[in-house]
Amino acid sequence: ASLVPGLADVVSHNLRHGSPEVRVFEIGKTFQSRGAGKLAKEDLWLGLAASGGDFEPSKERAGRSYGLDEFKGVCESLLRALQIDDLKWQAYTGEELFPHGALAISSGRQVLGFVWELSPRARKGLGVRQPMFAGQIKLDSLPHSFLLPRTYQEPSRYPSVKRDLALVVPKSMTQQDVRDLIRKAAGKQLESLELFDHYEGKHIPDGHQGLGFSLVFRAGDRTLEESEIDRWVGKIIKQLEGREVKLRDA
């Protein structure tokens, strides 16, 4: 009842034959038994699998490989491109269809898909040493709104303003918690919000994680003033500090 075994075999085959990084997907149906005398449950899924790919070293750490956060970002970007917002991640606690440690992504109350890192035992069976990630998005569960005709907005003639926030965040908070706080405080002029760093180690207190976000502000009818941006960023920081999130020292 999964597309992942076949995708994992494809990733493994390509890695063993010298490909430094592999990204594959498949759209297909799965069938799950409903018991004797009943037709199997049929679902349409998008399956994804990935492994390999390095990120350049930063001032605080050595280079690192493609990780679960990046894989989650692929799923988020895909769903947002389909105009599905209000996305949240949470630990998967449902039926035993996906492995322990899997994460579920949902919009509102609807669970849309799952991602996970293959266990060392699973990788050993595939002959793969490096981390491998897999996921499935249930296409039958996507809101019908993504099929509606699209409306497009004329690009703004006015420049954007980018600000980066390097934060020290309690591990009890998820990235989604932080995103929600930032968006709530930033207001409608926040055009985009992207995670660019996730760090744990030197200079980060125990029980915390370092998260870096890039914020892009833009207005459709005028050039934003620096004083406006400063005010919005100050409001964001105040909102975050109320949840024990602090700015990371340079």
- The answer on pLDDT for 73 being more than 90 is no
pTM (whole model) above 0.75: no
User: What is the reported pLDDT for 59?
Assistant: 45
Neighbours of 52 (CB within 10 A): 18
Residue labelled with tokens 């020290």:
168
CB 53 within 8 A of CB 66: yes
Answer whether 189's CB lies under 8 Å from 218's CB: yes
Look at residue 121 and give its three-state secondary structure.
Answer: helix
| Residue of 171, 228, 175 whose CA lies nearest to 200 | 171
Spatial CA neighbour of 112 closest among 87, 89, 137: 137
In order, the DSSP letters of 38-54 are SPPEEEEEEEEEEE--E
**Rounded mean pLDDT of 43-54?**
89
DSSP state of 181: H
Report the share of the chain in percent with pLDDT over 90.
47
User: In the prediction, which pLDDT does 148 show?
Assistant: 67
Q: In this structure, what DSSP letter does residue 17 have?
A: T
Say whether pLDDT at 63 is over 60: no
Instruction: Quote the tokens at residue 17.
Output: 């034959």
Radius of gyration (C-alpha) of the chain in whole angstroms: 21
Q: Residue 68 — pLDDT band, cuts 50, 70, 90?
A: confident
Q: Which residues pair with 246 in a beta bridge?
A: 168
Question: Average model confidence (pLDDT) for the chain?
Answer: 86
* Lookup: tokens for 105: 């992504």
**Domain residue ranges of the chain, discontinuous segments joined by +:** 4-147, 161-247
Examine the pLDDT at 15 and tell me if it is beyond 90: yes
What is the identity of the amino acid at 57? P
The class of domain 4-147 in CATH terms is alpha beta
- Evaluate if residue 60 carries a pLDDT over 50: no
pLDDT of 62 strictly over 50 = no
Distance of CA 97 to the CA centre of its chain: 21
pLDDT digits (tens, 9 = 90+) for 137-171: 999 888 776 666 767 777 889 999 999 999 999 98
Look at residue 178 in the predicted model and tell me its pLDDT.
Answer: 92
* pLDDT tens figures, 85-121: 778 888 887 655 667 678 999 988 888 999 999 989 9
Please identify, in words, the CATH class of the domain defined by 161-247: alpha beta
Q: How confident is the model at residue 61 (pLDDT cuts 50, 70, 90)?
A: very low
Tokens representing 168 are 């020290």
Q: Are 218 and 160 in contact (CB under 8 A)?
A: yes
